[in-house]
Amino acid sequence: MATTLMRSVAIMGGACALLASEVATAQCPGPNTQIIRDPPFHFTYESWVRPPEKPDTAYTYGRCISILNKQWMVVRWDGTQVGGTVAPNDPLMVTFPFVTDLPVESASELRYGIDKIPKNRKQVKFIANAEEVEPNKAQSAVMGAVEKLQSLLKLRTSIDEGVRNATSVARIPVADGTNNFVLTAIFISILDVGTTYPFFLTYVIDGVREPATNFALRPTEGILSAAVRAKLDRVTIPIVGSSGTFAFQGEGNSAATMTVARFELLRGEETIAAFPVSHYAPRPRS
């Protein structure tokens, strides 16, 4: 576990550098940026999938929303599992890897406004991985890809660290009057050949946080929720201080697959943001 943690910390640093470079202009990275002008709101939204830079590495899926004027807003992007506050010069952006090239253009609703439950609505499309929207159809191909990777591991053949350590990154602005910061959350799921599924969640807060306000991260379902509950006897991971790393693990059969899950950012008991992550998990029972 110590070697795994050291390897994961190094990958976290690389993920932070990559995310920082992509949002340096405080706008979505392109090239699929779409613009919505609905006074007083003026913003961009975007989703994408990027092919691997070399064979046998992961595809990268991303979603981003950025403000083009001075009007902050709350967003809920149905289907993408993305939501939160977006402020000028502070885009909301997430990326996650996936082992298969199964992009699907999916219809969704983008809600935005200044209320906790935004009232403005636009029908839009986004690029999803088929496992997100058609899991029953996609899982055969996903399980086959993961089985190939596990076979290489059993033969002690080296596989790309970016595939073995599936790293999802979220940049979440928080602005509520007393708190004004950006939360960067880095989630790592490690592929192995046994019955243990290691996970690491690192968070970094950049900005002003009111010390009396309680924030936490919560996976909403499946093996992630069960693993957090097994370690903490609850399903929320408290955000303590300006940075931290939480290591936990799930259990299941050794035949693995990959799926996409949802994390939520809580302020007290209230959900104020959400983002998707990809992770390895035991295959569902047939």
pLDDT average per 10 residues of sequence, the chain (286 residues): 47 49 58 92 94 77 94 95 93 93 92 94 94 87 91 81 90 90 95 92 93 93 94 95 94 91 95 96 81
Range 204-209 contact pairs with CB under 8 angstroms and sequence separation of 24 or more = 204/16, 204/242, 204/243, 205/181, 205/239, 205/242, 205/243, 206/181, 206/182, 206/242, 207/174, 207/179, 207/180, 207/181, 207/182, 208/179, 208/180, 208/181, 209/179, 209/181, 209/242
Q: What is the per-residue pLDDT for 81?
A: 94
> Do residues 63 and 96 make contact, with C-beta atoms less than 8 angstroms apart?
no
Residue 113: strand, helix, or coil: strand
Residue that the structure tokens 């992961």 belong to: 58
Cβ atoms of 257 and 283 within 8 Å: the answer is yes
What is d(CA 42, CA 64) in angstroms, rounded to the nearest whole number? 14
CB 198 within 8 A of CB 177: no
40/69 Cα distance (integer angstroms)? 9
pLDDT at residue 137, rounded to an integer: 84
Q: How far apart are CA 202 and CA 187, in angstroms?
A: 6
- Look at residue 21 in the predicted model and tell me its pLDDT: 46
Helices (H), the chain: 2-22, 130-133, 135-154, 161-164, 222-232
Q: Compute the distance between CA of residue 43 and CA of residue 89 in angstroms, rounded to an integer.
A: 11
Could you tell me how far CA 50 lies from the centroid of its own chain? 15
pLDDT of residue 32: 82
Intra-chain end-to-end CA distance of the chain, in Å: 31
pTM of the model: 0.89
- pLDDT value of residue 56: 59
**Planar angle of CA 193, 195, 196, nearest 5 degrees:** 95
Tokens at 171, concatenated: 């940049």
Residue 229's Cβ-count burial label (10 Å; 0-12, 13-18, 19+) is middle
The DSSP secondary-structure symbol of 87 reads B
CB atoms under 10 Å from CB of 202, counted, come to 21
For position 2, what pLDDT does the model report?
43
**Contact (Cβ atoms closer than 8 angstroms) between residue 208 and residue 180:** yes
